[in-house]
Amino acid sequence: MGLNELQRSIIELKEEKNAVLLVHNYQIPEIQDIADYLGDSLQLCRLAQRVEDAELIVFCGVDFMAETAAILNPDKKVIIPSQKACCPMAAMLPMSTLREAKERHPEAPVVLYVNTLAEAKAEATVVCTSSNADRIVAKLGADKVIFGPDRNLAYYVERRVHDIELVVVPDDGYCSVHRFMGGGDEAMELKRIHPGAEVWAHPECEPEFQDRADYVLSTGGMARRAVESDATVFIVGTEQGLIDRLSREHPHKTFLPAKSGSECAAMKRIDLGNLYEALLKEQHVVTVPKNTADKAREAIERMLLMS
Ligand code: SF4
């Protein structure tokens, strides 16, 4: 792999500062190439707990992910290269809506997707990711669970757990990138052209697309399936960054986007330029008030124990 000058400068600076670079699957290929760790939210949460030797954590992902790393590492400096890398879905759950649901259903535990801000996590019983949401909800043993903020992930969970009522908050939280893929018409058209291909939908995709896909998988699940499957063509219902990663890791297999143009603008706010500058100036530091962080940490650690 030939690295460019800026990539080499970032690696040098990173070593000089004893920094670790955590990179989400949806980042651009040039950043994925120089990651110390590359993965989905759950994998990065786990890794964020195991970076004792690093003095600085550089998180290439969106706001809630960097916050999670800061919550799990209260004694470390965590920085995010762009303050504009904010997940719109994480901002869709107003605290008033969540508190109202808790008042209406005081007996119900609260399971929140990791794609929420720290303030919301602090109100949760347990956090979940798309790779463990169904198991976490089932393991609570409750008849009713408050769940949010992604309506499509709630649909995915409802199909897999039985006799548990989900109270979904807010009414219509969603990821615009996965909603953009619609009911999966473009993916089905690709399947017609490549009949041996596997169609994958992410649990954030619309219910109709989930129902039509061969597999509904988190990005970590997609990465595993790419290794295990004998198929050579995959129609991938998630963000372009994962397709870039899988294409690089499996050069003899073909990964096609379920809908072209499925890119997360928030993730793509981070580039090599602002990553270099962030490392150099050790900016933008992610902080979470102690009280909020302590409560949110309990919900995250409960997930790590349960998954
Ligand atoms: S892909 Fe969707 S859920 Fe993920 S960061 Fe982008 S907007 Fe948020």
Query: Whose alpha carbon is nearest atom 6 of ligand 1?
Result: 264
Q: In terms of Cα–Cα distance, which of 284, 272, 236, 258 is closest to 86?
A: 284
Ligand 1, atom 2, residue with closest C-alpha:
175
**Minimum mean pLDDT among 39-48, 74-83, 161-170: which range?**
39-48
Task: Check whether 184 has a pLDDT greater than 70.
Answer: yes
Pocket mutation for ligand 1, best pick of 180, 239, 270 (most atoms within 8 Å of C-beta):
239
Joined together, the tokens standing for residue 237 give 């219902």
pLDDT digits (tens, 9 = 90+) for 1-49: 689 999 999 999 999 999 999 999 999 999 999 999 999 888 888 888 7
Which residue lies with its CA nearest to atom 8 of ligand 1? 87
Q: Among the atoms of ligand 1, which is closest to the Cα of residue 62?
A: 5
Q: Average pLDDT for residues 146-162, to the nearest whole number?
A: 97
Return the best residue to mutate from 117, 204, 264, 269 for the ligand 1 pocket (most ligand atoms within 8 A of CB).
264
The model's pLDDT over 105-124, given as tens digits with 9 standing for 90+, comes to 999 999 999 999 999 999 99
Q: Best substitution site from 25, 176, 179 to test ligand 1's pocket, by max atoms within 8 Å of Cβ?
A: 176
pTM above 0.75, yes or no: yes
Band of residue 84 on the pLDDT scale cut at 50, 70, 90: very high
pLDDT digits (tens, 9 = 90+) for 276-304: 999 999 999 999 999 999 999 999 999 99
Confidence of residue 89 (pLDDT cuts 50, 70, 90): very high
Residue 260 has a pLDDT of 95
Q: How far, in Å, from the CA of 238 to the mean position of ligand 1?
A: 10
Nearest residue by C-alpha to atom 3 in ligand 1: 175
Average pLDDT, the chain: 96
Ligand 1 pocket, CB under 6 A: 26, 62, 87-89, 115, 175-177, 239, 264, 266-267
| DSSP run (H or E) holding 77 | strand 77-79
The full set of domains in the chain, from first to last, is 5-86+267-287 (3.40.50.10800), 90-174+292-306 (3.40.50.10800), 181-257 (3.40.50.10800)
Residue 16 phi/psi, 5-degree rounding, is -60, -40
Ligand 1: centre distance to CA 107 (Å)? 31
pLDDT at 1: 60
C-alpha to C-alpha distance for 208 and 211, rounded to whole angstroms: 5
pLDDT-based confidence at 102, cuts 50/70/90?
A: very high
Residue with tokens 């969106």: 62
**Residue 307 pLDDT exceeds 90:** no
pLDDT at res. 98: 98
Report d(CA 74, CA 97) in Å as an integer. Answer: 28
Which residue among 89, 222, 263 is best mutated to probe the pocket of ligand 1, counting the most ligand atoms within 8 A of its Cβ?
Answer: 89
State residue 143's pLDDT score.
Answer: 97
The per-residue pLDDT for 247 is 97
Q: What whole-number distance in Å separates Cα of residue 69 and Cα of residue 123?
A: 18
